[in-house]
Amino acid sequence: MSVSIDARPRVRSSLTLLLAGFCWGTGGLAGSLLAERAGLHSISVATYRLLLGGAAVVLYVWAVGGLRGMVWTTAVVRRVLVAGGLLGSFQAAYFLAVGLTSVGTATMVTIGSVPVFVTAVTAVRARRWPPRITLVSVVLAVAGLVLLSSEPGRGGWALGAGVAFALAAGAGFAVLTLVMRRPVEGLDHQRTTAFGLLVGGCLLLPAGLAFGMALPLRADVIAVAVYFGVVPTGLGYAAYFRVLRTTHPVVAALATLLEPLTAALLSVVCFHEGLGAQGWCGAALLAAGLLVGYSRS
């Protein structure tokens, strides 16, 4: 009986991480639709993502009474600013990488580097090599991601600069994963998500306005924008931040790899795009790496 009870939090944490990864995976499709139907630049799409997601979570937290009694201490303000800065810089660096290379290359390098950075920092902090099962899960997942997402990019300086921005984005998200594990009195995962997203959106707003943020008032565009802000952003990040304090950071970082896997599977279901033998092998390796990682959570 005790084994069953002790296993329940682990199962809940794994399911919550799966939810976060799945939500993020639908964000690529929603963001592409918003950019196409509204004629927006990728930076403007990222700005809308953070602002709409933050606004949605703020409204939810307010509706359930989560803002009553909140005290803006120095520690709370500092954490919100750090979260917002990391979220904004992650989005900006990623979309700069997309512009210089391609969606596939930028996603592969950014998302694939997150668990590697987290594993390396965790090992340095602990002053010992990561457990073998951790290394196996990371290697399997990253290898699967390479097969799943690889596509030819541009050559020359653009490719090098794009990869550098993608690595910066991955490092930023890795730092976000590690920083958010430390609790701050007066902040829970919902408040952190709400105000962190809003701050990140405000940081990107000048660039978004420069590229243009006019949104056509059509039902299909508004529906995509609302979904983009609520599900992949608000719900996705709230679920991720909820379990960061109780889940091993490497296992949490592996959840980011569900984004390209979900996006690839959705492209097969929604657009009938074939993955091919390489893609399906990559999906299998990625799933195996995630299963190995979650088995140790």
For residue range 128-146, what is the model confidence (pLDDT) as tens digits? 776 676 666 667 666 766 6
Q: Closest Cα to residue 109, out of 33, 160, 156, 47?
A: 160
For residues 192-214, give the mean pLDDT: 93
Instruction: Give the position of tokens 């699967």.
Output: 144
Task: Please give the Cα distance from 145 to 152 (Å, whole number).
Answer: 15
Percentage, residues of the chain above pLDDT 70 = 66
Contacts of residue 44, Cβ cutoff 8 Å, sequence gap at least 6: 208, 211, 212, 213
For residues 159-187, give the mean pLDDT: 84
* DSSP string covering 251-291: HHHHGGGHHHHHHHHHHHHHH----HHHHHHHHHHHHHHHH
For residue range 38-78, what is the model confidence (pLDDT) as tens digits? 988 888 988 999 999 999 999 999 998 888 888 899 999 99
Q: Residue 100: what pLDDT?
A: 76
Q: Residue 263: what pLDDT?
A: 59
For residues 107-131, give the mean pLDDT: 73
For residue range 212-261, what is the model confidence (pLDDT) as tens digits? 999 998 999 999 999 999 998 999 888 888 887 777 666 666 666 666 66
Q: Please, is 251 exposed, middle or buried when counting C-beta atoms within 10 Å of its C-beta (0-12, 13-18, 19+)?
A: buried
Query: Which has the minimum average pLDDT: 90-104, 135-149, 160-174?
Result: 135-149
Nearest 5°: phi and psi at 147? -65, -35
* DSSP string covering 52-90: HHHHHHHHHHHHTTTTTT----HHHHHHHHHHHHHHHHH
Query: Which has the minimum average pLDDT: 164-173, 222-231, 266-275?
Result: 266-275
Q: Residue 5: what pLDDT?
A: 42
Q: Residue 3: what pLDDT?
A: 40
Q: Which two tokens stand for residue 73?
A: 């201490």
For residues 8-35, give the mean pLDDT: 76
Q: Please, is 235 exposed, middle or buried when counting C-beta atoms within 10 Å of its C-beta (0-12, 13-18, 19+)?
A: buried
